[in-house]
Structure 1
Amino acid sequence: MIVRYCRENEREVSKKIWLDTFRDSEEYIDWYMESVHRNENNLFILENNEIVGMLYENPYEIKILNRIEKSIYMVAVAIENQYRGEGYFKKLMEESLRNLKSQGIGIVFLHPVSSEIYKRFGFIYGSNVEKYTCQLKEIPVKTKKYKIIEISEKNNLKDLVKIYNKYMENCNISMIKDEENLKKLFEETSADGGKTYGIACEDGKLQGYFTYTMDGEDIFIKELAFENKNAFETMMWFFKTFENYYKNLQIITYEGSQLNLYLDREEILRKEVVPQIQFRILNIKEYLENIYILLNKDEEFILKIKDRLFSDECYRISRGEAEKIETENYHVEISIETLTQLITGYLNIEEALKLEKINILDEEKLFLLKKIKPQRKSFFNQFF
């Protein structure tokens, strides 16, 4: 087996594997190959000089623990049908993660079709979304408060970035989006047969945006951001106008958004919290130093991190510092998966203890662990 990156004139191979594996349309895949594909991000696995599988390592900036850092979104992991079950998937994933770790990438994330697939590589859920559903005919909004406008790259994208950032400001973890990222989101929506609109006051000032696709009887809002109740009601009024053509509306947004409270009849929007994104921490030291910044100067303990893919590691944790050490004596033991969920805020210490995810060898150090208090809100809804 050989693992290497895509070379010139091999993009069509990626397209073929994608078509053979996933349900996306050829129009969508063509857009991806033209707008997102980069040879240096497209990893192949080969047997006897034949490409048998691939994945994409798409680079993004994320906000995590109030810092901005580079990350990788792992997309389109696929093995050709006739080669499945022969170890190529495992080899491809392990080589990718080892390579990314050597490059200094701190965290990798993906949107799994099944949570079990990636657990053996240290991935674990770290971000939920709120999924709201309703029937279009039930939407109680009867008047349009603002204007619905088409999004123009020339005069709208900067304002939309500001709206997105404000909408995401209370999230512990979120994607960093600039004008180019939003532009690609809107292009991706169009390639998927959808549309994007803005919401604006009479003076033209933008108050929000939404991007959506349609499938059968359903309309799916892929992303939205808005500044006030009138903007959200205008959005809902817009979708109500489709009630003679479509039946259901589905909205995905961040956990804790409370979208149902923006309607006078809050029971109309039925809410479900759904796990969405799995994470895999690669740079343990950096995250440990950040989450234990609140320790006092004289407080420290030794933490062992168990990792099935990489070797287990021990760290001496003190105020804002994590020193990797070689020792058989440690106070607390956790897995890389549990550390990931503590850092992302998916679990707090009390929950992890109840779930028996923390092995305490020195009870006197337990109060130090409880100083981890990250926010719980996060939002990752990336599609490419």
Structure 2
Amino acid sequence: MKIRHAKEDELKDIKNIWNYCFNDGESFVEYYFKDKYKRHNTIVVEDEGEVVSSLQLNQYKINLNNKIYNTSYVVGVSTLPQVRGRGYMKNIMKFMLKELYRKNQLVSILMPIDYRLYRKYGYEHCYDQIEYNINIEDLSSYKINGKLYKANRYNINELVDISKDFLKDVNGNVERDDKFYQSLLEEIKSENGHIYIHENDGSEGYIIYFLDGETMFVREIYYKNMDSLKSMLKFIYNHNTQCKKVKISAPINDKIKFVLDNPRTCDIKIKPFMMGRIINLKAYLESLTIKSNIEGSLNILVKDNYIENNNGVFKIQIKNNRLFVEKVNEKHTVSFNINTLTQLAFSYIDIDEAILLNDLKISKRDISLLNYIFKKRNNYINEYV
């Protein structure tokens, strides 16, 4: 077994593994390997001269706690059936984590097919979404103010502007620029989806959706104001001769639930969406800004089974609105595994929840200091590849 980066002439082999393991349409696969795939971001397992397992590290910038981090989004983790059960996934994940640390990336994200597969590698649940399942007829009372029109590559600036306004109150989201939306337009097209912009007093919102039999799936509905939201809900209703139901994915702090005529007829649930992981704990903590003049220190024992540099006792000092972190050979007063620290670092949970979930015993002094470092926020991300 040999684990390495992909070679130039192995694209066909990697694509064949993808096609075998994932149920994606031909058009989407062609889009992905033309637009997203990069050989130097692909790790493979070679067995007896044959590529039998692979994963990709798609590069994004995410806005986490008001700082921008280069991050690898782990996708396409796949192994051919004849070699499953030989531990190839464990080895390729170990190689990948060391690679990310070597590249000085501080955090990583991953959309799991099964959370149990990735928790052991230090990835942990960090993002949820609201999922609405609504009868189309329940959206009949709204009206469209202004107009809706199909977006194209000449509308990139409008899409960027709408997303910046809509995403300003969420945490952990991908930085969306012109290049991002150029790619997204191609992705949606490859899956026979649609993007429409709502315009009234300027461009005020957009909707991305797919028609699947009698159900419309709304992947995104971004809006600057409630008038734009209601106009796009009416736009959804206008498909009532084609669709009976609509499924809408939205951030946890979304406002759709407040404008529904009868929420009792709508199925609203929380949908787990994305995992995260701290790659370089020391560097990540030292990148944070503390919004307080508080000073103090504490020693935390960290357990990370796959990145040795994250293992051990870390002295964390708060001084001059910053954290100063060093490994020490001292006793600790607080102990976390990398999974819990990841949830704290991504602001998915707060200290009280970490204590409850892990049955920890922490002094009031240390709780107070940790509360200055880790704050819970509304996380949202909606990237699929």
Q: TM-score, normalised by structure 2?
A: 0.94
Contact 1:171 1:375 in 2 (8 A): no
Q: Does 2:247 match 1:255?
A: no
Q: What residue in structure 2 maps to residue 173 of structure 1?
A: 172
Distance 1:333 1:296, change over 3 A: farther
Partners of 1:303 and 1:73 lie apart in 2 by: 28
Contact 2:150 2:194 in 1 (8 A): no
Partners of 2:164 and 2:376 lie apart in 1 by: 17
Contact 1:139 1:268 in 2 (8 A): no
Contact 2:138 2:261 in 1 (8 A): no
Which residues in structure 2 correspond to 1:335-354 (within 5 Å)?
335-354=337-356
Contact 1:213 1:221 in 2 (8 A): yes
Q: What residue in structure 1 maps to residue 218 of structure 2?
A: 221
Residue 249 of structure 1 aligns to a residue in which SS? strand
Residue 8 of structure 2 aligns to a residue in which SS? coil
Contact 2:206 2:221 in 1 (8 A): yes
Counterpart selection for 1:283 from 280, 283, 286: 280
Partners of 2:75 and 2:359 lie apart in 1 by: 29
Aligned length: 380
- AA aligned to 1:231 is S
Residue 9 of structure 1 aligns to a residue in which SS? helix
Partners of 2:78 and 2:182 lie apart in 1 by: 27
Contact 1:42 1:54 in 2 (8 A): yes
- Higher helix proportion (structure 1 or 2): 2
Counterpart selection for 2:357 from 347, 355, 358: 355
Residue 34 of structure 2 aligns to a residue in which SS? helix
Residue 190 of structure 1 and its aligned partner are, at CA, apart by 1.3
Deviates more, 1:122-131 or 1:267-276: 267-276
Residue 269 of structure 1 and its aligned partner are, at CA, apart by 4.2
Partners of 2:84 and 2:186 lie apart in 1 by: 33
Which residues in structure 2 correspond to 1:224-235 (within 5 Å)?
224-235=221-232
Partners of 2:4 and 2:111 lie apart in 1 by: 23
Counterpart selection for 1:245 from 232, 242, 246: 242
Q: What residue in structure 2 maps to residue 164 of structure 1?
A: 163
Q: What residue in structure 2 maps to residue 64 of structure 1?
A: 64
Contact 2:130 2:249 in 1 (8 A): yes
Counterpart selection for 2:299 from 285, 298, 302: 302
Partners of 1:125 and 1:298 lie apart in 2 by: 31
Q: Deviations over 1:176-207 (max 9, x none)?
A: 11111112112111111211111112x6x211
Partners of 1:111 and 1:335 lie apart in 2 by: 21
Distance 1:168 1:298, change over 3 A: closer
Partners of 2:284 and 2:5 lie apart in 1 by: 29
Q: Does 2:114 match 1:117?
A: no
Q: What residue in structure 2 maps to residue 314 of structure 1?
A: 313
- AA aligned to 1:206 is S
Deviates more, 1:258-267 or 1:41-50: 258-267
Q: What residue in structure 2 maps to residue 54 of structure 1?
A: 54
Distance 1:185 1:292, change over 3 A: closer
Residue 265 of structure 1 and its aligned partner are, at CA, apart by 3.9
Q: Deviations over 1:45-91 (max 9, x none)?
A: 11122100110100000000111110010011000111111111111
Q: Deviations over 1:153-178 (max 9, x none)?
A: 22x21121111011111112111111
- AA aligned to 1:352 is A
Deviates more, 1:296-305 or 1:70-79: 296-305
Distance 1:322 1:315, change over 3 A: farther
Q: What residue in structure 1 maps to residue 188 of structure 2?
A: 189
Residue 9 of structure 2 aligns to a residue in which SS? coil
Residue 63 of structure 2 aligns to a residue in which SS? strand
Q: Deviations over 1:335-379 (max 9, x none)?
A: 11111111222211111112225453x554332223245242011
Distance 1:381 1:207, change over 3 A: same
- AA aligned to 2:222 is A
Residue 128 of structure 2 aligns to a residue in which SS? strand
Residue 177 of structure 1 aligns to a residue in which SS? coil
Deviates more, 1:268-277 or 1:41-50: 268-277
Residue 285 of structure 1 and its aligned partner are, at CA, apart by 1.4
Residue 305 of structure 2 aligns to a residue in which SS? coil
Residue 14 of structure 1 and its aligned partner are, at CA, apart by 1.6
Partners of 1:264 and 1:137 lie apart in 2 by: 11
Q: Does 2:97 match 1:97?
A: yes
Partners of 1:377 and 1:98 lie apart in 2 by: 30
Contact 1:73 1:109 in 2 (8 A): yes
Partners of 2:60 and 2:282 lie apart in 1 by: 21
What 5-or-longer segments of structure 1 have no aligned partner? none
Q: Does 2:273 match 1:271?
A: no
Q: TM-score, normalised by structure 1?
A: 0.94
- AA aligned to 1:199 is H
Distance 1:330 1:146, change over 3 A: same
- AA aligned to 1:39 is R
Q: What residue in structure 1 maps to residue 8 of structure 2?
A: 8
